[in-house]
């Protein structure tokens, strides 16, 4: 079975490391990281082909919703599921993110011991 390629986008280096470690413990998940929306878009434009994208919502350069919109504008990335990770736990926010085209919303703080299984389930549903 080929590895699941994940792109994780977050401006916080500590959270990027935590998410990367949590996912890579799975053994069959490979993680690429981006320090923000602009970095993620540059990597995607350079040919990165993730199976799923996880992105923080609030980032200083290009936020998660703007990143998602830019990803969808690139026709070849329409099928890549995008999942928001956010501390914004309000149901109205979750519904807004889903209406923007996010596949799911994972609320921070998340359980690092179950994150890989959660991401695998979401990818399987896509």
Cα angle value 50/53/59 (rounded, 5°): 130
Q: What is the rounded average pLDDT of the residues 85-114?
A: 91
Distance, CA of 48 to CA of 52 (rounded, Å)? 11
- Contacting residues for 93 by C-beta, under 8 A, at least 6 apart: 86, 105
pTM of the model: 0.95
Q: For tokens 């149901």, what's the residue?
A: 91
Element (H, E) at 66: helix 64-73
The CATH class for the domain spanning 4-125 reads alpha beta
| Least confident piece of the model among 75-79, 95-99, 100-104 | 75-79
pLDDT digits (tens, 9 = 90+) for 52-96: 999 999 999 899 999 999 999 987 788 899 999 998 778 999 999
């Amino acid at each position: 079975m080929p590895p699941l390629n994940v792109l994780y986008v977050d401006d916080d280096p500590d959270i990027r490391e935590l998410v990367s470690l949590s996912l890579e413990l799975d053994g069959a998940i490979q993680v690429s990281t981006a320090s923000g929306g602009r970095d993620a878009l540059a990597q995607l434009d350079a040919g990165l082909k993730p199976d799923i994208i996880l992105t923080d919502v609030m980032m200083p350069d290009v936020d998660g919703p703007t990143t998602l919109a830019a990803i969808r504008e690139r026709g070849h990335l329409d099928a890549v599921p995008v999942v928001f990770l956010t501390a914004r736990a309000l149901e109205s926010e979750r519904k807004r993110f889903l209406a923007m085209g996010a596949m799911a919303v994972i609320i921070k703080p998340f359980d690092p011991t179950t994150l890989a299984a959660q991401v695998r389930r979401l990818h399987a549903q896509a």
